[in-house]
Amino acid sequence: MIRLEQVSKVYKTSTRPALENVSVEVDKGEFVFLIGASGSGKSTFLRLLLREEVPSKGRVYVANFDLTRMARRRVPRLRQSIGCVFQDFRLLANKTVAENVAFALEVIGKPRHTIRKVVPEVLELVGLEGKAGRMPHELSGGEQQRVAIARAFVNRPLMLLADEPTGNLDPDTSQDIMLLLERINRTGTTVLMATHDHSIVDSMRRRVVELDLGRVVRDDARGVYGVGR
Amino acid sequence: MRASFVFSEVVTGLRRNITMTIAMIITTAISLLLLGGGLLVVRMIDNTKELYQDKVQVNIYLTNDVSASDKQCQNDPCKGLRSALESDPAVQTVEFENRDQAYERFKRIFEAQPELVKLARPEALPSSFNVRLKNPDRPEVIVQTYQGRPGVDSIGDQSQFLDRFFSALNGVRNGTFFMAGLMAVAALLLISNTVQLSAFTRRTEVGIMRLVGATRWYTQLPFLLEAVVTGLTGALVATGLLVGLKLAFLDDVLAQPIKSGVVKAVEAGDIAFVAPILFLIATVVSAFTGYVTLRLYVRT
């Protein structure tokens, strides 16, 4: 599903590489935590997978796409097969819950009858049935993140990227969100989650890839957050 | 591509920046109005030239003694000149006017100023040949051929006066085009600025669109259409202003010269000819500006 081969990324404005000689392979259906301190290269890792950046060296493959050789006009198709969730939810404040989810389908040109069918389905999956007509500001943080997950998942992507999805949530709500991500993972969707949250990583016991100063320093099949430190 | 979606995005975008939208429409409209005015002047010049085309004459004035002695043009040098003119390939028609006829005409022209008529004597007016040319653009041929011939006093070339008249009109045209150009620069900058502003206020939407894999066209078309819609609205306003100015102002001011046939009126048909040009230019320019702006300033 994801393969990075000796990838390095150097930003023009920085002398130290953001990623250095990183090789990681993630299979279809895996659940992987990407951990590391701020500035360790997690965000660059995710941006490479979305092809918001291209590597300075090495190769990146996502879902059979060779991202290093991909033409710009094909990037939208890549992104349609990836769902994204962020710490700050990134919902549209002037649209309802259902409209926010529908937006993701409208802008890739899905027909209206499909949208009418799948939006309620995915809202039910994330536990927001009955809140379709609410505005984002009427929802709790946890509910807003559920909307964002619904939006990321509504097009049934092969892979879900989550950048600190629980960063703004209290522990109980975070736990709910993790349960939801697990549920999505069980449908066969690969989930890659960048996080700082020790307790979540420790309780889930999933694969952990740790970055430090742009290098992979650990890759455990069933890891915890703080081992060896 | 879902048209309803794009359309609602365009409307939202225009309403969100309503002050900028209005400023953009006004500058575009004024720029196009000036351009349209310039184009109308061009058409007026063409029409007026046509009006004069078959009226332009070259007048060959005869010397005083010929004017006095040979009133029917029966002897040389008058007779010789006439037959030379009549057989000249550049000449269409020749009319002889003796000094009595000239005096009659003079009296008719200056009917309103009897003191001027009183002062004038037939003896002061020369006989002349009024020559109409096959090619009215080339009066100098006649001037060169007949200047200085015996019996010829001077040659009056009406087209010289017309040239001055038209060069004044050309000046007006160039002036309006220049102003139109200046306003167009302002309009371009405003369009570019508004597109940037619009893209900035909607950066969250655009960010999400990019993330979920919307194509470049989907993300950018609303902004492009916003520019085009304002451009077209500007063209519409400009056309309305042209019609309004014609009815309320131009028709009145030029009523006298139009009636006496000095200039051609600006017809509704002229505006109908100019309006599509304005719409076309508005569309092309606003779309192009929008596209370039998005290319340069908005990351996709």
Q: Is B240 part of a structural domain of the chain? A: yes
Provide the pLDDT for residue A56.
93
Count of other CB atoms within 10 angstroms of residue A215:
16
C-beta atoms of A76 and B2 within 8 A: no
Mean pLDDT of B198-225: 86
**C-beta of residue B83 within 8 angstroms of C-beta of residue B60:** no
Q: Which of A103, A106, A112, A147 to mutate to test the interface with B (most CBs of B within 10 A)?
A: A106
User: Domain check: are B177 and B293 in the same one?
Assistant: yes
Tell me what pLDDT residue A226 has.
72
Q: Do B212 and A79 lie within an 8 Å CB cutoff?
A: yes
Are B214 and A77 inside 8 Å of each other by CB? Answer: no
Q: Is residue B149 part of a domain?
A: no
The token pair at B281 is 């230019």
Predicted confidence at residue B54, as pLDDT, reads 67
What distance in Å separates residue B209's CA from the closest CA in chain A?
6
Can you give the length of chain A in residues? Answer: 229
Please tell me which residue of chain B has the smallest CA distance to A154.
Answer: B212
Nearest residue to A184 (alpha-carbon basis) of A65, A49, A1, A30: A30
Q: Give the Cα separation of A180 and A221 in Å (integer).
A: 21
> Interior CA angle at B174 toward B169 and B176, to 5°?
95
The owner of tokens 């941006």 is A47
- Residues B290, B181, single domain; the answer is yes
Q: Are residues A207 and A10 in contact, defined by beta-carbon separation less than 8 angstroms?
A: no
Q: How confident is the model at residue B169, as a pLDDT?
A: 79
Q: What are the chain A neighbours of B218 within 8 Å (beta carbons)?
A: 107-109
| Residue B33 placed within a domain | yes
Q: How far is A102 from chain B (nearest CA, A)?
A: 11
Q: In the predicted model, what is the mean pLDDT of chain A?
A: 92
Q: Touching check for B88 and chain A: CB below 8 Å? A: no
CA distance A116 to chain B (A): 15
**Of B5, B207, B214, Cβ closest to residue A76:** B214
B-proximal residues of A, 170-189, CB under 8 Å: none
Report the share of chain B in percent with pLDDT over 70: 96
From the candidate CATH numbers 3.40.50.300, 3.30.2290.10, 3.30.750.24, 1.10.10.10, the one assigned to the domain spanning A1-81+157-223: 3.40.50.300
Least confident span in A109-123, A154-168, A186-200, B71-85: B71-85
Q: Give percent above pLDDT 90 in chain A.
A: 80
> Residue B211: its chain A contacts at CB < 8 A?
50, 79, 84
Task: Grade residue A227 by pLDDT with cuts at 50, 70 and 90.
Answer: low
Give the CA distances from residue B292 to residues A9, A120, B254, in Å, rounded to whole numbers and listed in that order. 30, 40, 43
Output the pLDDT for position B299.
64
Question: Does B215 reach chain A within 8 Å, measured CB to CB?
Answer: yes
> Does B147 contact A at CB distance below 8 Å?
no
Q: For A3-46, what is each residue's pLDDT tens digit?
A: 999 999 999 888 889 999 999 999 999 999 999 988 899 999 99
pLDDT of residue A5: 94
| Residues sharing a CB contact under 8 Å with residue B223, sequence separation 6 or more, in sequence order | B13, B195, B198, B199, B290, B294, B298
Q: Are residues B107 and B220 in the same domain?
A: no
B84-99 tens-digit pLDDT: 778 878 778 888 888 7
Q: Is B55 on the interface with A (CB under 8 A)?
A: no
A190 vs A157: CA distance, rounded Å: 9
Chain A residues touching B215 at Cβ < 8 A = 73, 76, 108
pLDDT tier at B1, thresholds 50, 70, 90: low
- The reported pLDDT for the residue numbered B138 is 72
- Percent of chain A residues past pLDDT 70, beyond the cut: 99
Q: B233 with B96, same domain?
A: no
Q: What are phi and psi of B105, to 5 degrees?
A: -65, -40
CA distance A101 to A91: 9
State whether B218 and A103 contact (CB < 8 Å): no
pLDDT at A76 over 90: yes
How many Å lie between the alpha carbon of B9 and the closest alpha carbon of chain A?
11
B204–A90 CB contact, under 8 Å = yes
Q: How many angstroms away from the CA of B137 is the closest CA of chain A?
A: 59
Note the pLDDT of residue A51. Answer: 93
Q: Is A114 on the interface with B (CB under 8 A)?
A: no
Residues B232, B291 within the same domain:
yes
Question: What pLDDT, on a 0 to 100 scale, did the predictor assign at position A170?
Answer: 93
B44 inside domain? yes
- Quick check: A115 contacting B, CB < 8 Å? no
Which of A53-57, A177-181, B188-192, B229-233 has the least mean pLDDT? Answer: B188-192
A50 in contact with B, Cβ within 8 Å: yes
Same domain, B9 and B99: no
Picking from B205, B207, B215, the nearest residue to A76 by CB comes out as B215
Q: Do A103 and B208 touch (CB under 8 A)?
A: yes
Same domain, B114 and B178: no
CA distance A26 to chain B (A): 21
Q: Are residues B117 and B203 in the same domain?
A: no
Question: By C-alpha distance, which of A89, A97, A78, A86 is closest to A157?
Answer: A78
Do B40 and B122 share a domain, yes or no?
A: no
**Are B66 and B45 within one domain?**
no
Mean pLDDT estimate for chain B: 82
pLDDT score, position A229 = 47
User: Which pLDDT tens digit goes with each residue over B256-284?
Assistant: 777 777 677 777 888 888 999 999 999 99
Exposed, middle or buried by CB within 10 Å (0-12, 13-18, 19+), for B282?
buried
**Which of B98, B117, B135 corresponds to the end of one domain?**
B135
Domain locations in chain A as residue ranges: 1-81+157-223, 91-155
Domain range enclosing B272: 3-52+163-297
Q: What is the CATH number of the domain that holds B116?
A: 3.30.70.3040
pLDDT value at A135 more than 80 = yes
Give pLDDT tens digits for B248-259. Answer: 887 787 777 777
Residues B83 and B8 in one domain: no
Q: Does B253 touch chain A (CB under 8 A)?
A: no
Tell me which residue in A79, A92, A151 faces B213 most closely, judged by beta carbons.
A79
Instruction: Check if the beta carbon of residue A128 is closer than 8 Å to that of residue A66.
Output: no
| pLDDT reported for residue B53 | 67
Locate all alpha helices (DSSP H) within B54-88, ordered by sequence: 64-69, 78-87
Task: Work out the minimum CA distance from A28 to partner chain B, whole angstroms.
Answer: 20
Say how many C-beta atoms besides its own lie within 10 A of residue A66's C-beta.
Answer: 11
How many independent structural domains does chain B possess? 2
Nearest to B214 among A84, A92, A108 (CB): A108
Domain boundary among B99, B119, B135: B135
Q: What tens digit of pLDDT does each residue of B114-168 get?
A: 777 777 777 778 888 888 877 777 777 777 777 777 778 888 777 777 778 778 8
pLDDT tens across B34-57, in order? 888 888 888 887 777 777 766 777
- For residue A104, list chain B residues with Cβ-Cβ distance below 8 A: 208, 212
Q: Which residue of chain B has the CA closest to A105? A: B212
